[in-house]
Structure 1
Amino acid sequence: MAKSKDIRITVILECTTCVRKVVNKGSKGISRYMTQKNRHNTPNRLELRKFCPYCSKHTIHGEITK
């Protein structure tokens, strides 16, 4: 079966601040968002400022692999 050649792919964004807290202090959880990106326009990892309910502020959310 042929590989999918879709230009838009689904990516998961994870809070970079919460990841550090889980390792150090044991936070309640990790904020994650699902979004889509255009593979041709943004080949690098995506980073967006999103609201984290666990940190109660806007933080940088970076793309993680599935």
Structure 2
Amino acid sequence: MVRVGITLACSDCKQRNYQATKDKKKNTEKMEVRKYCKFCNSHTIHKEIK
């Protein structure tokens, strides 16, 4: 399996808050997760960036 490290950024304030890994063969599209942003002080969508 090929797991790669990715960075998740808040879609509202664009801060890079989380680091995660994903399987590149199973998930080819960019990852989107709803997580807590300490800068926005709320739960927002976090998108994968390069």
Match of 2:28 in 1: 43
CA offsets per residue over residues 19-57 of structure 1, 9 Å max, x none? 3xxxxxxxxxx2421000000110000000010001111
Displaced runs of 4+ in structure 1, greater than 3 A? none
Match of 1:55 in 2: 40
Larger Rg: 1
- Which structure carries more strand by proportion? 2
Q: Which runs of 5 or more residues in structure 1 are unaligned?
A: 1-5, 20-29
- Are the aligned partners of 2:7 and 2:49 in contact in 1 as well (CA < 8 Å)? yes
CA distance in 2, matches of 1:38, 1:58: 25
Equivalenced residue count is 50
Q: Which runs of 5 or more residues in structure 2 are unaligned?
A: none
Q: In angstroms, what is the RMSD of aligned CA positions?
A: 1.2
User: What percentage of aligned pairs have identical amino acids?
Assistant: 34
